[in-house]
C-alpha cells in the first residue's frame, strides 16, 4: 500500500517523522512529497529531503494521504492539486489522516461537515463538529490534536489500514501506552 505524506516548509517535525516511521515499520510504502521542492525545512529548523516533488506525484498511485500539521499547513491549502486529492480520496473512501492544524484543510473543503473531528486545541471553532479527544476516527478520516498525539495518530492509521493486531504489535514493540 502506498501512502502519501506531503511536506511543506514549516511542517511539524514530530508529527511527520513519527508518523512516517511508524507507517514504515508497519510495512507501508510511504512517500514524502515536498512542496514545492525536495528540501523541506520544518518548524524547528530540521531539514528533510523528500522522496520526490509533490508536483511530480500521480494521485492514482496512492491509497492513503497523511497531512502533518505545523505553521506551514495553511499554505498547503493553496495547492489546487492537493485540495482536489482530498476531495477525490474522500469520494473514493480512501483514508485521509490529518493532525494539528491540517484538519482545518479538510474543514475548508467541507469534508468534515457531517463528521466528528479534532484539531490543535484552541482551533475547535474552525471545525463543524469538534471533539476534545486526542485522536478521532470517523469513517475514512482520522484526525488528531498535535505533536504529543503523533504516536497514537500513527498507530490509529496502522489499525485502519492493517488491522488492530498489527497496530497492537507495533504499539507493544514501540513501548507506547
- Give the residue numbers annotated as catalytic, written as ranges: 100
Joined grid coordinates for residue 167: 497496530
Exposed / middle / buried, residue 127 (Cβ in 10 Å: 0-12, 13-18, 19+) = buried
Which residue, chain included where needed, has cell 514549516? Answer: 10
In angstroms, rounded to a whole number, what is the distance separating the alpha carbons of residues 154 and 150?
6
Number of H helices, E strands in the chain: 6, 9
Amino acid at each position: 500500500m502506498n501512502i502519501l505524506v506531503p511536506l511543506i516548509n514549516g511542517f511539524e517535525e514530530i508529527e511527520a517523522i513519527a508518523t512516517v516511521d511508524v507507517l514504515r515499520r508497519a510495512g507501508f510504502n510511504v512517500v514524502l512529497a515536498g512542496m514545492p521542492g525536495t528540501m523541506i525545512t520544518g518548524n524547528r529548523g530540521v531539514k528533510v529531503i523528500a522522496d520526490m516533488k509533490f508536483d511530480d506525484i500521480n494521485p492514482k498511485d496512492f491509497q492513503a494521504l497523511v497531512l502533518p500539521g505545523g505553521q506551514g499547513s495553511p499554505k498547503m491549502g493553496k495547492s489546487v492539486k492537493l485540495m482536489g486529492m482530498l476531495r477525490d480520496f474522500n469520494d473514493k473512501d480512501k483514508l485521509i489522516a490529518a493532525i494539528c492544524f491540517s484538519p482545518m484543510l479538510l474543514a475548508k473543503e467541507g469534508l468534515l461537515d457531517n463528521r466528528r473531528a479534532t484539531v490543535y486545541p484552541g482551533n475547535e471553532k474552525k471545525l463543524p463538529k469538534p471533539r476534545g479527544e486526542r485522536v478521532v476516527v470517523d469513517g475514512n478520516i482520522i484526525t488528531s490534536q498535535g505533536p504529543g498525539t503523533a504516536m497514537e495518530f500513527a498507530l490509529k492509521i496502522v489499525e485502519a489500514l492493517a488491522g488492530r493486531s498489527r497496530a497492537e504489535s507495533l504499539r507493544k514493540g514501540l513501548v507506547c501506552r
